[in-house]
Amino acid sequence: MKSDGAQRARPDGATRALRYYTHMPFSYFDRLSPARKVVYLRSDAIEKIHLPPGPPLDGFVARLEQGLKDERRKEVEQVSQALLSSLTARLEVPPIRVKVLTVRPSGNWGELHGLYEPTEDGTPPLITVWMRTVARKQIVAFRTFLRTLLHELCHHLDYELYKFPETFHTEGFYKRESNLLTQIASAAPRQGSLALAERAGQPE
């Protein structure tokens, strides 16, 4: 079931997964309670993520692209983990775990690109991303994979950096995602196949 926004956990302690779809409407704002509208608007107002200086990221970007190209799932998982660990350390937020699986799950709700699962047992939250499309089982485009990874990280940042009680797909959320992608892309070499910084805001 597609969710407009999600709380960190239900009262019974069970976590609610946050799913990433290719299209998220904004019309659900009108159905939110006044308290949730406040959270939504706070999220919508933040358009950029200030990424403090730190170790270079270009090595992660290059290795991630090559790992996808070579279809090496375990390497992609390891590099994805290293990249997000570097980002969470820079932003001084709690760490997160990363799992990379093969073919995306799908159903009548669409095709699942990524999943963010908060936890209540003290272990770091889990991000899961998939590296193959449903229809042809092809490796997803590098930019799509990286954007999905950062999209799920942005849910984590909503909780841990901005201290929101919920994380919503707002226009501001997507702008933060694109801003983070651009910052990481600008750390990569400008030559070669990436050219991510110029393409970060363009649709697939």
Q: Which residues pair with 100 in a beta bridge?
A: 129
C-alpha to C-alpha distance for 204 and 200, rounded to whole angstroms: 10
Element (H, E) at 130: strand 126-132
C-alpha to C-alpha distance for 28 and 24, rounded to whole angstroms: 10
Give the pLDDT score at 189: 54
Q: What percent of the chain has pLDDT over 70?
A: 78
Q: Note if the pTM is more than 0.85.
A: no
- More reliable by pLDDT, 85 or 185: 85
Query: DSSP secondary-structure letter at 15?
Result: B
Structure tokens at 170: 């707002």
Q: Model confidence over 53-79: pLDDT tens digits?
A: 988 898 999 999 999 999 999 999 999
Task: Write down the residue that tokens 């909503």 correspond to.
Answer: 158
Give the pLDDT score at 16: 39
- More reliable by pLDDT, 63 or 190: 63
Residue 50 CA to its chain's centroid (Å): 16
For residues 15 and 9, the answer to whether their CB atoms sit within 8 Å is: yes
